[in-house]
């Protein structure tokens, strides 16, 4: 395929040119918005001032291509080879890359979004992108626009998706274990066979989401969480984080319960190790025998709470309200066991004495 054929086909609505061989093609100033050039060979091509906004250039070869003044806003450059490419004044704002994207030596890209574990992608616009199978575990995608995004099989475990728009997104077989979906929009979202174990579903409306074979065991729900009518909430094996909740022996370890309202809740024997309860209201809650090792209770209200025999090793209680709190038999620190000094054998004692005499002689001679 040559440049003229591509321009003609694109002009009549064709967008898929994946795998095309366009070596040294002259596409100067060409409008190629949202074109699919996945795996295409564009080495030494002239793409100066071309409009490649939201283009799919995954795995494309752009080695030694001229991209000066090209508009690559929102383009997908994952796996693309841009070695020795000319990128003078190219607009790369919002383009997405990954660890396999190659840039010219010395080129320092800015305003790009890296798709990787732990990435900071707050408020990012990824509408309609193909992110199937990506690893975005622990990533911050809060308030991100993921409308219609393909996240089939993606790893979003422990990701922050609070207030994100996932309407019409495909999350088939996705891993959302312990993900934060607080306030996320899930209108007609496909969550079929997705793993939502221990996910935060506060303030989420799942009534029109596809929850066929979805695993939501241990998910956190509050009074505003809504499920489809054909699901019985009492049979879902989720944790209802509401005043007066019955959560005895619940495993809430490492979960985010920031600002949770658990007044008068029954948390006897609950596992709260490493749980973030910053600013939570636990007034008059029963935390007898609960394990709060390394939990964060900064600014939490524990007024009138029962912490009898609770484990508080490493627990952050700064600025918390402990008025009328019952703390009898609570374990607050782990004292190291005192070890008795080992008795030395007579021969060892004699040897140490001789060594000390030698050292004293050496000091004297000096």
Residue 337 clears pLDDT 60, i.e. is over it: no
In the chain, what are the domains? Answer: 1-114 (2.160.20.80), 115-240 (2.160.20.80), 241-334 (2.160.20.80)
- Do 194 and 171 meet the contact criterion of CB atoms below 8 Å apart? yes
pLDDT of residue 339: 54
What value does the mean pLDDT take over residues 212-226? 94
The per-residue pLDDT for 345 is: 54
Average pLDDT over residues 330-343: 61
Q: How far apart are CA 200 and CA 176, in angstroms?
A: 10
CA 199 to chain centre: 12
Q: Which long-range contacts (CB under 8 A, 24 or more apart) does 83-89 make?
A: 86/48
Write out pLDDT tens, residues 274-331: 999 999 999 999 999 999 999 999 999 999 999 999 999 999 999 999 999 999 888 8
Gap between the Cα atoms of 65 and 46, Å rounded: 6
In the numeric block, the tokens 């952050």 are attached to 316
Q: Which two tokens stand for residue 312?
A: 């508080």
Residue 336 has pLDDT above 60, yes or no: no
Q: Is the pLDDT of residue 366 over 60?
A: no
Task: Tell me the per-residue pLDDT of 227-263, one tens digit each, with 9 for 90 and over.
Answer: 998 888 778 889 999 999 999 999 999 998 999 999 9
> What confidence score (pLDDT) does residue 334 get?
62
**Residue 332's pLDDT band (boundaries 50, 70, 90)?**
confident
CA distance 247 to 255: 14
Q: Residue 63: pLDDT above 70?
A: yes
Please give the Cα distance from 59 to 40 (Å, whole number): 7
Q: What are phi and psi of 356, to 5 degrees?
A: -65, -40
Task: Give the pLDDT score at 341.
Answer: 53
| Rounded average pLDDT over 209-217 | 95
Other Cβ atoms within 10 Å of 77 Cβ, number: 27
Over range 150-155, report the average pLDDT.
98
Give me the pLDDT at residue 292, please.
Answer: 97
pLDDT at position 357 is 38
| Lowest-confidence segment of 23-32, 57-66, 321-330 by average pLDDT | 321-330
Query: Long-range contacts: 105-112, Cβ < 8 Å, 24+?
Result: 107/82, 112/77
Binned at pLDDT 50, 70 and 90, residue 117 comes out as very high
What local confidence, expressed as pLDDT, does residue 330 receive?
82
Name the average pLDDT for the chain.
Answer: 91
Q: What is the pLDDT of residue 340?
A: 54
The pLDDT assigned to 282 comes to 98
Which DSSP helix (H) or strand (E) runs through 171? none
**Residue 208: which pLDDT band, with cuts at 50, 70 and 90?**
very high
Token pair for residue 118? Answer: 């732990």
Q: What is the mean pLDDT of residues 78-107?
A: 96
Return left, alpha or beta for 141; rule: phi > 0 is left, psi -120 to 50 is alpha, else beta: alpha
Is 329 exposed, middle or buried (CB count within 10 Å of its CB: 0-12, 13-18, 19+)? Answer: exposed
Task: Report residue 145: phi and psi, to 5°.
Answer: -95, 105
Tokens of 316: 């952050």
Residue 307 CB neighbours (<10 A): 26
What does the DSSP 8-state code read for residue 360?
A: H
For the chain, give the percent of residues with pLDDT over 70.
Answer: 91
CA atoms within 13 A on the CB side of 145: 7
Residue 180 has pLDDT above 80, yes or no: yes
């Amino acid at each position: 395929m040559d440049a003229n054929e591509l321009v003609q086909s694109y002009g009549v609505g064709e967008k898929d040119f994946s795998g095309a061989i366009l070596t040294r093609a002259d596409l100067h100033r060409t409008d190629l918005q949202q074109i699919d050039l996945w795996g295409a060979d564009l080495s030494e091509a002239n793409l100066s001032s071309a409009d490649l906004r939201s283009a799919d250039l995954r795995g494309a070869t752009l080695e030694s291509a001229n991209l000066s003044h090209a508009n690559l806003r929102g383009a997908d450059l994952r796996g693309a080879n841009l070695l020795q490419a000319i990128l003078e004044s190219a607009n790369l704002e919002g383009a997405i890359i990954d660890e396999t994207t190659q840039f010219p030596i010395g080129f320092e890209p800015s305003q790009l979004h890296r798709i990787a574990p732990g990435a900071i992608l707050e408020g990012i616009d990824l509408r309609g992108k193909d992110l199937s199978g990506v690893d975005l575990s622990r990533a911050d995608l809060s308030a991100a626009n993921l409308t219609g995004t393909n996240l089939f099989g993606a790893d979003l475990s422990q990701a922050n998706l609070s207030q994100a728009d996932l309407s019409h997104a495909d999350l088939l077989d996705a891993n959302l274990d312990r993900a934060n979906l607080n306030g996320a929009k899930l209108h007609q979202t496909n969550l079929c066979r997705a793993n939502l174990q221990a996910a935060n579903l506060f303030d989420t409306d799942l009534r029109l989401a596809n929850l066929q074979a979805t695993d939501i065991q241990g998910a956190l729900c509050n009074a505003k969480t809504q499920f489809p009518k054909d699901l019985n909430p009492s049979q879902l094996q989720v944790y209802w984080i509401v005043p007066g909740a019955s959560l005895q022996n619940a495993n809430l370890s490492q979960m985010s319960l920031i600002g949770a309202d658990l007044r008068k809740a029954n948390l006897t024997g609950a596992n709260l190790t490493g749980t973030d309860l910053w600013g939570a209201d636990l007034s008059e809650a029963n935390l007898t025998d609960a394990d709060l090792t390394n939990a964060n209770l900064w600014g939490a209200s524990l007024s009138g709470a029962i912490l009898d025999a609770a484990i508080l090793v490493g627990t952050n209680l700064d600025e918390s309200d402990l008025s009328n709190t019952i703390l009898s038999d609570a374990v607050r620190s782990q004292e190291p066991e005192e070890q008795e000094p080992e008795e030395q054998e007579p021969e060892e004692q004699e040897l140490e004495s001789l060594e000390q005499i030698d050292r004293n002689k050496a000091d004297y001679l000096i």
